[in-house]
Each structure stands twice: as C-alpha cells, then as structure tokens.
Structure 1
Amino acid sequence: MTRLLPGILAMAAIVVASNILVQVLFGQWLTLGAFTYPLAFLVTDVMNRVYGVAAARRVVLAGFVVGVICSFIGTQIQGEFGPIVTLRIAMGSGLAFLSAQLLDVAVFDRLRAGRWWRAPLASTLVGSSVDTLIFFSVAFSGTLAVLEPGNDVSWAGEMLPLLGVGPQVPLWVSLALADWSVKLALALIALVPFRLIVGRLTAQLA
C-alpha cells in the first residue's frame, strides 16, 4: 500500500482541487475544474502501467471516496441559489467518476501490450467520453428531472446556439461539448508526462 500512496495522494489532490475550481467560471462554457479533473486519468494510467490493474483500481476507489466527501461538504454550503452541490450534481459526479475511471482501467489493461501510447490515449478518450456523457446527463438533462424534482435546472435546458455558433441545442449540451473537448486535448498533452513519469518510476523499481 505504501507504494500506492503517491498515486492516492495525487488523485485526492486532483479531486479536491477540481471540486473547488468547478465553482470558478472560465469563459462562457467552462470552469477551471475542466482543466484539472482530466489529470485523474493520467494518475490512473500511470498507476496501471507501473503497478497493474489492482493498484489502479485502489487509487480510483480512493479518489471516489474523496469525491463523495467533497460532494457531501458541498451540499452543506449554501450559495446564492441554494447548496453549491445539488443531489443531481453529486450523483452525476460520483457515477461519472467511478464508471469512467474503472472503464479507463479496463481499456488500458486490454491494450497494455501494444505501443506505449495506445493504452493511455485510448483508455483516456473512452473514459473521458463516458465521464462527460454521464455527468452532464444526470446533473442537467431535463429528462432526468425525476431524480431531484425540487431542483430547478430549467436554465440548463435553455435552447441556444451550440457553443454560440451552431444549431439550437440545450445549454447543457454546449457545456458538455466544451468540457469534452478540453478532456480530449489534455489526453494528447498528457502523453508527455505519462511517458516521463512511467520511465522514472520504472527505473526506480528496476
């Protein structure tokens, strides 16, 4: 377990930072949390490559527990329009994180024997896509209002041009697409630190 501590601490730090920074807007479609959360996939992939599937899953579960704690704290903090974390956001966040990260672990493991970049890139792209779909659907889609009838998210369903320039879609779709685009870009950028960190850790274990 000691060898996993850096990964667990890194995952916990990313989850905590993302829960805080998601409250800070960045432009019209994003929050600062969109730039920190994707690093969770980097941590998972590094742990998977160096220590294996079981280790990666333990780090994911640790991150999930930290996320649940953050969500609970957020439900107790009142913002201008109520709790800063609603039940739907908490459910979407937890379900998206756990599903996407465990899927990332599974995809990575299936591809680990290929070229070094295939497993981290493919697993992150798949995991990020699932994460975005689950979170924004559960948290903001009007079709799932039954999850929290007392929470008015009609603002997220306002019909607006996609990212300000495309066809008319619900606002939450633009938010999801912007978030997903950042995840995809960071998946490519993260290949550099992935290669460097894995090389260093592997050398230390040799």
Structure 2
Amino acid sequence: MSALRSDDRSPMLLAVAAMALVVVASNILVQHPIQAFGLQDWLTWGAFTYPFAFLVTDLANRRFGPAGARRVVYAGFALAVALSIYFATPRIAIASGVAFLSAQLLDVAIFNGLRAKAWWIAPLTSSVLASALDTAIFFSLAFHCGPVLGDTTITGMLGVVGIADDCIALPWQTLALADWTVKLAVAAVALVPYGALVSRMRRWEDVHGAA
C-alpha cells in the first residue's frame, strides 16, 4: 500500500490521534502506582490504558494493511513522544518511545503473518508477544535508576545533552510483571470490540466495493 486512498485519510488520522492519546495518557498514569489493596509495588494505572495501543495497531493493520499500520505507528510515535516530554517526563517519554516503536512494529509483523488465520488469532498472539517486549523495555528504562552502560545512568546520559530529569525509583521488576499480566487480560477483553469493529469494517468495505 504505497499511497492512501482519499477515503482512508480520515480513518488513518483518527487512528494516529487515538494512538497518541492512549500512549500519552498511559505515560502520565504509569507514574502513579495503585495505592489500594497493597498494590503500590505491583501495579500502576497505566497498565489499564496502554494495551489499547495494540488494539489501535491491529485495527489499522486490518483496515490499511501492514504498510498503513506502520504509518500509524510512526506518526503516533512522533506525536506521543513530543507530548509525553511535556505531560510526563523526558525519561519516561524516551523509554516509552523506544518500547513503543519496538513493540508496535513487532505487533504489525506478527499480525500480518497470522492475518489469514481465525479472526482472533492474529490480534491476540501479536498483542501477547509485543506487549511482553514493550513491558520489558519500558519498565527497565523508565524506572531503573542504576547504571545501564558501565557506570553511566540514563539520567546521566540525559544530562549530557542538557536535559534535567530525575529518575523515579519504583520496583520496576514487580511492576513489569503485574503490568504484563494486566495487558494479557486486557488483550483478551479487547477481542470483543476488535471483533465488532472488524465486522463493521467488512460491512463498509462490502458496500464501498459495490458502489
């Protein structure tokens, strides 16, 4: 898919906006552990919003194909990182950007390889595997305050380029484990709106194709 049809432009802009909204909201909420029931060392509010980024990617892949889905990922990535630097912190924006780009491109590749299977296999498999990669990269970069390269910390690297940013020390290993568990649950639940929206897409395509 080298060029967008005119009737694809608005849906793609909507997908990019939805992607950026989900990621920015998640980058704000991930800084706030859930205090109830002793979950502060295990879970942040961002765990409940970020998995919907994979829903957006998978719907874009189904509608526009892998090339179009990658366009949504790249545009959403740029917009989300820029907004996250302002609304969250530079460190979280960078960690989110690296994790987001790696995981979403993996999601596109896995989804495209499985798109001919039963309707639920591609979105579920791609979300499970890509969210594991996303979780590992994001939490280790965002909340690990110790050295990452020799004696160099991420905060120190940011300082070299003139960005003042303190590390928020959180128990990132337990947060990552609980976050991925929630992502698995949300990925399963998201199959319901995914199936409904894909059904609507197919009906629209049938009508559009007949017109």
TM-score (norm 2): 0.78
SS, match of residue 153 in structure 2: helix
Quote the residue 1:189 is aligned against: 189
Structure 2: which amino acid aligns with 1:188?
A
Quote the residue 1:42 is aligned against: 55
Tell me the alpha carbon deviations over residues 108-157 of structure 1, each in whole angstroms, 9 at most, x when there is no partner: 0011111111110110011100000111122233341533237665944x
Stretches of structure 1 lacking an aligned partner (at least 5 in a row): 75-83, 157-170
Quote the residue 1:115 is aligned against: 118
Alpha-carbon deviation of 1:52? 0.7
1:172 lines up with 2:162 in the alignment:
no
In 2, Cα distance between equivalents of 1:70 and 1:124: 24
Quote the residue 1:159 is aligned against: none
Quote the residue 1:61 is aligned against: 74
Alpha-carbon deviation of 1:5? 2.3
Tell me the alpha carbon deviations over residues 42-91 of structure 1, each in whole angstroms, 9 at most, x when there is no partner: 010011112211111111112101221123214xxxxxxxxx5143x232
TM-score (norm 1): 0.80
Structure-to-structure mapping, 1:74-85, within 5 angstroms: 74=87, 85=89
With over 3 angstroms needed to count, the CA separation of the structure-2 counterparts of 1:39 and 1:86, relative to structure 1, is same
Whether contact under 8 Å (1:19, 1:70) holds in the other structure is: no
Whether contact under 8 Å (1:50, 1:202) holds in the other structure is: no
With over 3 angstroms needed to count, the CA separation of the structure-2 counterparts of 1:32 and 1:140, relative to structure 1, is closer
Whether contact under 8 Å (2:95, 2:141) holds in the other structure is: yes
How many equivalent residue pairs?
A: 182
Structural RMSD (CA)? 2.0
> Percent identity between the aligned chains?
54
Relative CO higher for 1 or 2, CA cutoff 8 Å, sep ≥ 6?
2
SS, match of residue 30 in structure 1: coil
SS, match of residue 71 in structure 1: helix
Structure 1: which amino acid aligns with 2:155?
E
* Structure with greater proportional strand content: 1
Structure 1: which amino acid aligns with 2:62?
R
Alpha-carbon deviation of 1:24? 3.5
In 2, Cα distance between equivalents of 1:90 and 1:50: 28
Whether contact under 8 Å (1:21, 1:31) holds in the other structure is: yes
Deviates more, 1:60-69 or 1:188-197: 60-69
